[in-house]
Structure 1
Amino acid sequence: MNNPASHYVEETAFGFWFLQSRVWEQHVLRVAVADLKGLIDAPLPSAAVLLDAGCGQGKSFRLLQEAFAPAQLIGLDADPHSLACSAKEAERQGLSVHLLASDCAAIQLDDASVDMLFCHQTFHHLVEQQQALAEFWRVLKPGGLLLFAESTRFYIDTWVIRWLFRHPMQVQKSAAQYLDMLRDQGFVFAERNVSYPYLWWSRATDFGLLERWGLRRPKPRGQRDETLVNLAARKPLEQPRP
Structure 2
Amino acid sequence: MNTVNKKQVWVRETKFGDWFLNTDTWIVHVLRRALNDLQRLFPAGKPQQFETILDIGTGFGHSLLELDSRFSPSKIIALDVDPDLKIKTAEKVQQCQAQIDLLVCNAAEITLPANSVDMIFCHQTFHHIVDQESAIQEFYRVLKPGGCVLFAESCRRYIHSFIIKLLFRHPMSVQKTDMEYLKLIKDANFLVDEQSVSRPFLWWSREDLGIWQTLTGKVEDPNTREETLINAIFYKPCA
State TM-score, norm by structure 1: 0.91
Q: Displaced runs of 4+ in structure 1, greater than 4 A? A: 92-95
Measured in 2, the distance between the counterparts of 1:94 and 1:185 equals 33
Asked whether the equivalents of residues 37 and 67 of structure 1 are also in contact (C-alpha less than 8 Å), the reply is: no
Aligned length: 232
- CA-CA distance at 1:108 after TM superposition: 1.3
Whether 1:10 aligns to 2:26 is no
**C-alpha distance in structure 1 between counterparts of 2:76 and 2:95, whole Å:** 15
Shift, 1:117, TM fit: 0.2
Query: 1:152 maps to what in 2?
Result: 155
Match of 1:228 in 2: 229
Asked whether the equivalents of residues 33 and 67 of structure 1 are also in contact (C-alpha less than 8 Å), the reply is no
Give 2:3's aligned residue. Answer: none
- 8 Å CA contact retained: 1:39, 1:192: yes
Q: CA deviation at 1:92?
A: 4.3
- Alpha-carbon distance, 1:66 to partner: 1.8
- Counterpart for residue 178 of structure 2: 175
Q: Could you say which residue in structure 2 is the equivalent of 1:141? A: 144
Q: Deviation of residue 46 (structure 1)? A: 5.0
Structure 2 counterparts to residues 32-51 of structure 1, below 5 A: 32-41=34-43, 42-44=45-47, 47-51=50-54
SS in 1 for 2:12: coil
Superposition CA RMSD, Å: 1.6
Question: Any unmatched runs of 5+ in structure 1?
Answer: none
1 CA distance for matches of 2:113 and 2:238?
18
Q: Secondary structure at the match of 1:189?
A: strand
Question: Percent identical across equivalent pairs?
Answer: 44
- 8 Å contact from structure 2 (residues 108, 131) kept in 1: yes
The normalised TM-score by structure 2 is: 0.92
- The offset of 1:7, in angstroms, is 3.4
Q: Is the 8 A contact 1:113 1:140 kept in 2?
A: yes
Q: How does 1:1-242 map to 2 (within 5 A)?
A: 6-41=8-43, 42-44=45-47, 47-93=50-96, 96-203=99-206, 205-214=207-216, 217-238=218-239
Q: Which runs of 5+ in 2 are unaligned?
A: 1-6
SS at match of 2:191: coil
Q: Kindly state the Cα deviation for residue 210 of structure 1 after the two structures are TM-superposed.
A: 2.1
Instruction: Give, as a single letter, the amino acid of the residue that structure 2 aligns with 1:30.
Output: R
* Displacement after TM superposition at 1:198 (Å): 1.1
Counterpart secondary structure, 1:147: strand
